[in-house]
């Protein structure tokens, strides 16, 4: 299962990277998923008894080679959704020991896959790849409609922080204080605690926050649907 999760992560990220080369086309493609209900109002989430079939359907989509931006967006969404379903409906019900073993194996496989990419430097096992160290950081609000971060997604984000990489959120939506931010990287200490690097819109400097604060922020957030920076 960890290998499936790692494959979906790398596949999804590859599609997001390709789509990121044309932001306007990318945003339209993901908005199309939202407009059709595929990526909105949590309609993608299956019932517990249908989770196995749902994961299989997502895997079938991931096995296809996309030829258009819409197809790339669908594959990226399927890859991410399959991972969420696996975590929510299978891994979350395993013992803590099994969950930790799964996360550690998954992280190892992703790091191995990342190290094989061309022109990609090896990544420290305790540090997630991100925008840090690549020059001036910038982020912009996507031209799509964000949705509520539900409890299942929140649990997935905290249990598998790789899913947060490149994600954009709208903090305190529909208030005078609303502001968009992007998760650009994270670090994991030896005691397994996490720290996240985030970048707010219209800011040039990122800041580091603790895991507890990150969780608190996400509870007051809407998330933009699977769109990278």
d(CA 84, CA 164): 12
Whether residue 125 is contained in a domain is answered as no
> Which tokens belong to 60?
């079938």
Do 157 and 88 have their domain in common?
no
Of the two residues 36 and 69, the one the predictor is more confident about is 69
For the entire predicted model, the pTM comes to 0.51
Instruction: Say yes or no to pLDDT of 43 above 50.
Output: no
Question: What confidence score (pLDDT) does residue 45 get?
Answer: 59
Question: What confidence score (pLDDT) does residue 39 get?
Answer: 66
Structural domain containing residue 182: 147-223
Q: What is the pLDDT of residues 107-156, one digit of tens each?
A: 888 888 777 766 544 434 344 434 333 344 567 788 778 888 888 788 88
d(CA 134, CA 5): 27
* Region 69-81 average pLDDT: 88
Do 153 and 111 have their domain in common?
no
**Contact yes or no for 223/207 (Cβ under 8 A):** no
Structural domains counted in the chain: 2
Do 110 and 152 have their domain in common?
no
Whether residue 82 is contained in a domain is answered as yes
Do 76 and 158 have their domain in common?
no
Question: What confidence score (pLDDT) does residue 134 get?
Answer: 39
Q: Name the pLDDT band for 171 (thresholds 50, 70, 90).
A: very high
Instruction: Say yes or no to pLDDT of 44 above 80.
Output: no
Q: What are phi and psi of 92, to 5 degrees?
A: -65, -20
d(CA 26, CA 75): 13
Question: What confidence score (pLDDT) does residue 3 get?
Answer: 85
Do 108 and 156 have their domain in common?
no
Question: What confidence score (pLDDT) does residue 139 get?
Answer: 78
Greatest mean pLDDT among 89-98, 124-133, 192-201 = 192-201
* Region 181-187 average pLDDT: 86
Q: Name the pLDDT band for 227 (thresholds 50, 70, 90).
A: very low
User: Which of 70, 98, 115 is the last residue in one of the domains?
Assistant: 115
Lowest-pLDDT range of 14-18, 64-68, 156-160: 156-160
Angle formed at CA 12 by CA 54 and CA 44, multiple of 5 degrees: 30
Lowest-pLDDT range of 105-109, 120-124, 171-175, 223-227: 120-124
Question: What confidence score (pLDDT) does residue 54 get?
Answer: 83
Whether residue 142 is contained in a domain is answered as no
């Amino acid at each position: 299962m960890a290998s499936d999760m790692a494959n979906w992560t790398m596949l999804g990220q590859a599609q997001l990277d390709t789509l990121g080369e044309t932001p306007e086309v990318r945003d339209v493609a993901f908005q199309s998923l939202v407009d059709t209900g595929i990526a909105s109002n949590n309609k993608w989430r299956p019932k517990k008894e249908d989770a196995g079939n749902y994961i299989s359907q997502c895997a079938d989509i991931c096995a296809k080679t996309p030829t258009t931006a819409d197809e790339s967006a669908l594959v990226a969404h399927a890859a991410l959704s399959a991972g969420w379903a696996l975590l929510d409906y299978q891994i979350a019900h395993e013992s803590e020991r099994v969950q930790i073993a799964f996360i550690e194996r998954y992280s190892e496989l992703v790091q191995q896959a990342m190290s094989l990419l061309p022109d990609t430097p090896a990544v420290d096992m305790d540090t997630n790849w991100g925008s840090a160290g690549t020059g001036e950081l910038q982020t912009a609000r996507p031209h799509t409609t964000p949705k509520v971060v539900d409890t299942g997604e929140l649990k997935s984000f905290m249990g598998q922080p790789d899913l947060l990489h490149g994600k954009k959120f709208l903090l305190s939506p529909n208030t005078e204080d609303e502001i968009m931010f992007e998760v650009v990287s994270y670090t994991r200490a030896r005691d397994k605690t996490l720290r996240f690097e985030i970048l707010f819109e219209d800011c040039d400097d990122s800041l580091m926050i603790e895991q507890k604060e990150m969780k608190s922020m996400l509870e007051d957030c809407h998330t933009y649907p699977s769109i990278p920076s």
